Amino acid sequence: MAWARKILRVNLTKGTCADEALNMDWAQKYLGQRGLATKYLTEEIDPKVDPLSPDNKMIMATGPLTGTCASTAGRYSVITKGALTGAIACSNSGGFFGNEMKNAGYDMIIFEGKSPSPVYLFVQDGSAQLLDAADYWGQSCWTTEEGIKEKHGDPLLRVASIGVSGEKGVKFACIVNDMDRAAGRSGVGTVMGSKNLKAVAIRGTLGVKVDDASRFVDAVAAGKSVLAENAVTGQGLPAFGTQVLMNVINESGALPTRNHLDAQFDGANNISAEAMAEPRASDGKPNLLTNAACFGCTIACGRVSTVERTHYTVKDRPEYHVASGGLEYEAAWALGAATGIDDLNALTFANFICNEQGLDPISFGATVGAAMELFEDGTITTKETGGIELKFGSAEALTTLVELCGKGEGFGAEIGLGSKLLCEKYGRPELSMSVKGQEFPAYDSRGIQGMGLAYATSNRGACHLRGYTVASEILGIPEKTDPLVTDGKAGLVKAFQDATAVVDSAGICVFTTFAWSMDDIAPQIDAACEGDWSVENCMAAGERIWNLERKFNLDAGFVGKDDNLPARLLKDAAKTGPAKGKTNGLDIMLPEYYAARGWTVEGIPSNETLDRVAL
């Protein structure tokens, strides 16, 4: 139960769709979504495969709780070998698509091969077919979603699609569902584009059954009470969203600024949650129109925003005089602090374009920041940028580039390489602020030491969502630790990584963990699913999943030396704030982490560890 027990296998080369039974032995070991799809991927592809080859596969996967009445249970993930990184990729999205997929009767959809021409997959309650996407190829995610709904005459279809960026091979293209939710990181949209797959449209009404309905309802109700009564999930996130962090992290001296040249941004408050709530001079309305919730979510952290109609980006473009997905913290940081830009309207517009054209705003903004440093130091000039004065703080440069990158044109196509390849191309690889090819999110690891270890060891490249020690080091959740010390961080990172792997495999949102511990989560999984999903068994599954991902990366060619940070963070001390004079102490933390994981000094899981985690 909870699992639909069915997979849809789509062979794009042959144009076939076939159902097959879910491997329930694997489900008992890897739970669902991130873990279970990773198991399928590792069994079915060569880890050394070119991510953009037809031999790579892409899996859309739900968790056992997806589509149930558990809070936030609308999640799905896209698992593949990442185009940006060459590592295991698992990008998680909210909205309503995941729920629809589960209710259509599928735990996961495995895409293999490459279609000879652009197609989209149409799924309705257990039946599936590939349809011609010629009308949508070359169109944005927004146009595609609206067009497919109109064609089928069903406004309740849920659509996940790529924009032109994914078609053109922008390395950090994402998959956008429900207009402004995205499987955002690692270039999963690039892989989708390489398969000539434009979109997946789903309608599902079959329902989701659980193992012990009575116990499940009680566990879900208890969980929802915890979320409602918690000050963060009950009040802070709905009112201010993730953007409330902008001033917190800046004050803490850990807001990477201008490609990590600085760790504090003097324009932070202008692009914060507080600024989004301020009435504007031109129309008296704030940037933030309202909050919004994904399927089944009782937190509702989402932002819905508008761009001021007098702003240069939209004054002659009424199609953008709409309310749409607003800035989340990571996007606001990448588009703003990482580039030195504090124009809230420009950032909101750039965020709209990222949603419209399917760009990961973190990698896009961070890569623009790197390009700005290349420009400022004279490595590139207007000759390379096509005339764009690419200086830190230039909103015009950012908003020009987001449209170019979204269409894979001009210097925007070079931004679309990602910072690693871009900086290598111009002979300055040290200016890419990335790990395993993926750009950092919004926390400077000189000021939050544990995050340096979390970034260095993240299986999908630099990422905050694989081990969010910010919760403990800065926010005091579940308990406060000192962000400026390395002591204890190896164990902290491991605990966050393993627990997050469980959450990502269950079908729920990681934001629940600001209030929920595994003591709240495990009973919901245990009541929904067959088998013994005690806290201990859930955490064991989390550790197993982490090691499985690690093993894939090692087999793909990554080595312990790739668990590293850019020299800037290891050698150039922070200039201001609490971390002034500090670098990241990765050299201290990494050996402790390998030991805590039961890995060799080279970062390879030992045979004893593989036995212990049943791999």
Partner 1 sequence: MLIRVKLYAMLADYLPASAVKNEADMEVADGTVVKQVLSSLQMPMEQCHLVLVNGVFVAPSERDTRTLADGDALAVWPPVAGG
Binding site for partner 1 (CB under 8 A): 230-232, 235-237, 239-245, 247-248, 251-253, 269, 273-275, 301, 328-330, 464-465, 468, 470-471, 474-477, 480, 482, 510-511, 514, 577-578
Closest distance to partner 1 from the beta carbon of 352 (Å): 20
Nearer to partner 1, 170 or 246 (CB): 246
Tokens 């940028």 label which residue? 385
Q: What is the DSSP letter of 268?
A: G
Nearer to partner 1, 36 or 271 (CB): 271
CB 206, CB 104: distance < 8 Å: yes
Closest distance to partner 1 from the beta carbon of 257 (Å): 14
Nearer to partner 1, 179 or 248 (CB): 248
Closest distance to partner 1 from the beta carbon of 168 (Å): 30
Nearer to partner 1, 70 or 245 (CB): 245
* Pair of tokens at residue 442: 């919004």
CB 222, CB 70: distance < 8 Å: no
Closest distance to partner 1 from the beta carbon of 351 (Å): 15
C-alpha distances (whole Å) from 575 to each of 121, 222, 382, 484 are 52, 46, 30, 14
Nearer to partner 1, 67 or 241 (CB): 241
Nearer to partner 1, 353 or 509 (CB): 509
Between CA 208 and CA 599 the distance in angstroms is 39
CA triplet 488, 490, 491: central angle to 5 degrees?
A: 75
Between CA 454 and CA 31 the distance in angstroms is 23
C-alpha distances (whole Å) from 282 to each of 278, 368, 395, 435, 515 are 12, 29, 19, 42, 39
Tokens 């124009």 label which residue? 343
Between CA 555 and CA 251 the distance in angstroms is 41
Closest distance to partner 1 from the beta carbon of 473 (Å): 9
Closest distance to partner 1 from the beta carbon of 533 (Å): 25
Closest distance to partner 1 from the beta carbon of 251 (Å): 5
Nearer to partner 1, 186 or 196 (CB): 186
Closest distance to partner 1 from the beta carbon of 503 (Å): 13
Contacts of 72 (CB under 8 A, 6+ apart): 94, 294, 296, 297, 298, 299, 508, 509, 511, 512
Nearer to partner 1, 86 or 447 (CB): 447
Nearer to partner 1, 463 or 589 (CB): 463
Tokens 């994981």 label which residue? 597
Closest distance to partner 1 from the beta carbon of 295 (Å): 20
Between CA 116 and CA 104 the distance in angstroms is 27
SS3 content of the chain, % helix, strand, coil (to 5): 45, 15, 45
